Structure 1
């Protein structure tokens, strides 16, 4: 990721139209912005997982993820499990370690990928 051609700006996340994505259980609600030129865009999201959310797929996309509220449980393909609480983050590269998340209590996240 190279951050280029992004002028200074602010985002009021409450004004970004939500996108609803069904999980295996529960729902993920994304508010998404994209920055930078085509071919090198950075996707920035405010994501809410409803209580009981279970992802419907194993993700291989790289992310930098910050837990703002609630609790996020992320399982790696090798069986390791990590729990994020508010103020905790994780980072993983593209194609590095497949991961799948659940949010038994719900969670609010800030994600850059």
Structure 2
């Protein structure tokens, strides 16, 4: 990962307002920090959430609580549970999207 020039920064996630993003079903709430091409997010996916798009952007995603399923455009489905992570590069293995039946909280760097 090549991080852009960014001064030392601390993030108080509780002080960052969240924004709601609807999915195909359900909603997500993001708290975000950006610096150049770097984006760091705390995301809460509500129960029944399904992303509204296939994504080709690279991510490092860590599940803080709950569980989600990563759907890959080639048909694979990978469950990711609390305490686990996944990584994918820009235009990497396969376009992907997430869904969760019960909801979950994640930390994402992209």
TM-score band, normalised by the shorter chain?
over 0.9
Question: Does residue 78 of structure 2 align to residue 82 of structure 1?
Answer: yes
Runs of 4+, deviation exceeding 3 Å: none
Quote the RMSD (CA, aligned, Å).
1.1
Compared with structure 1, are the counterparts of its residues 4 and 24 closer, same or farther at alpha carbon in structure 2 (3 Å cutoff)? closer
What TM-score do you get using the length of structure 1 for normalisation?
0.91
By how many angstroms is 1:9 displaced?
2.3
Alignment counterpart, residue 42 of structure 1, candidates 9, 25, 38: 38
By how many angstroms is 1:22 displaced?
0.4
By how many angstroms is 1:57 displaced?
1.0
Question: Does residue 51 of structure 2 align to residue 55 of structure 1?
Answer: yes
Query: Hey, what's the Cα distance between the residues in 1 that align with 2:4 and 2:102?
Result: 37
Alignment counterpart, residue 99 of structure 2, candidates 99, 102, 105: 102
Query: Hey, what's the Cα distance between the residues in 2 that align with 1:25 and 1:76?
Result: 18
Question: Does residue 85 of structure 2 align to residue 112 of structure 1?
Answer: no
Point out where structure 1 has 5 or more consecutive residues left out of the alignment: none
Alignment counterpart, residue 88 of structure 2, candidates 87, 92, 95: 92
What TM-score do you get using the length of structure 2 for normalisation?
0.93
Point out where structure 2 has 5 or more consecutive residues left out of the alignment: none
